[in-house]
Copies of this chain bind each other. A is one copy, B any other.
Amino acid sequence: MTARRTTSQRHEVPPGDGLPPTAWAVLGLLSFPGERTGYELKKWADASLRFFYWSPAISQIYAELRRLEARGYATSRRSGPEEPRAKRSYAITEQGRAALAGWAGGTEDAGPPVLKHPLLLRVWLGHLTAPDQLRALVAEHIAQTEGDLKEARDALARAAGTEAWSHPHIALRWSVRRLESEVDLARAMLADLEEADPPAAETTPSSEPGPAGAGQPAEDSPTPG
C-alpha cells in the first residue's frame, strides 16, 4: 500500500519495456564486455548477484535470453566448428544497452527491496515453539549466515585483483557489510529471546518465577504487534 500507482485504467501495457526484473538482471550481466553463454551467466550470477539480488533457475536464464533476443536487446551466435563445444553465445546490442541504461538510471521505479525472512516468521510465532528450540534455530541461522559471509568475503577478495570493475566491487562490499550486520542482528535477537524467556538455569533467582499469564492472552484481543 505504499503508493505504487497501478498505471491507471484499461490495461494499457507500459508502452516502453515492461520487462520483469530478472530480464534486466540478465541483460545487466551481458552489459559487461564480452559475450557469454547462458551457462556462464548462471555461474556468474551465483557468484555475485546472489548476495544482493537473486540466483535464478538456469532454465529461466535461457528463457530470458531468448526473450531479450526477440526484443532486439541481445544477439546470439552459435559456436563455429573451431570451438570444441556446441553452444550459443549472447551479446548485448546498442538498443539493449540503451534500454538497460534507462532502467538502471531510474526513469521507471525498480521497486523497493524485498526481504522474506522465514526465521523471523518463526520467531514472530515463538509462542508455538519451546524457547531453547527457537534459540537453536536462531543459532543455526547465525552459523549459516557466517558461511555466506565467508563466501562473500572470498568473492570480494577475488574481485579485488580485477580492478576497474569498481561498481561490482562496491556492491560486494555492501553485501559483506550486510551479512555482518545480519549476524549482529541475529545475536541481538538471541539476547532478546534469552531475556524474554531465560534458559532453564540455576543462576537466575531474581524476578518473576514464570507461568503467570505467558500462555494465552485474553480472548478476543485485537490484532497485536
Contacts and interface: CB of A to CB of B under 8 A. Distances in A.
Interface of A: 1-2, 21, 24-25, 28, 31-34, 36, 40, 43-44, 46-49, 52-55, 97, 100-101, 104-106, 110-130, 133, 136-137, 144, 147-148, 151, 155-156, 158-159, 162, 164-175, 177-178, 181-182, 184-185, 188-189, 192-193, 196-197, 213-214, 216-225
A14 B175 CA distance: 33
A166 B25 contact: no
Nearest to A144: B112
Contacts of A178: 181, 185
Given A52-B121, A121-B24, A173-B192, A164 B126 contact: no
A224 B214 CA distance: 53
B49 A171 contact: no
Nearest to A98: B128
Given A40-B223, A220-B33, A100 B116 contact: no
Counting every copy of the chain, the complex holds 2
A105 B130 contact: yes
Given A110-B118, A114-B115, A49 B124 contact: yes
A196 B220 contact: no
- Interface of A, secondary structure class, is helix
A119 B113 contact: yes
Most buried by B among A34, A128, A151: A128
B125 A225 contact: no
B216 A33 contact: yes
A225 B164 contact: no
A46 to B, nearest CB: 6
Contacts of A136: 106
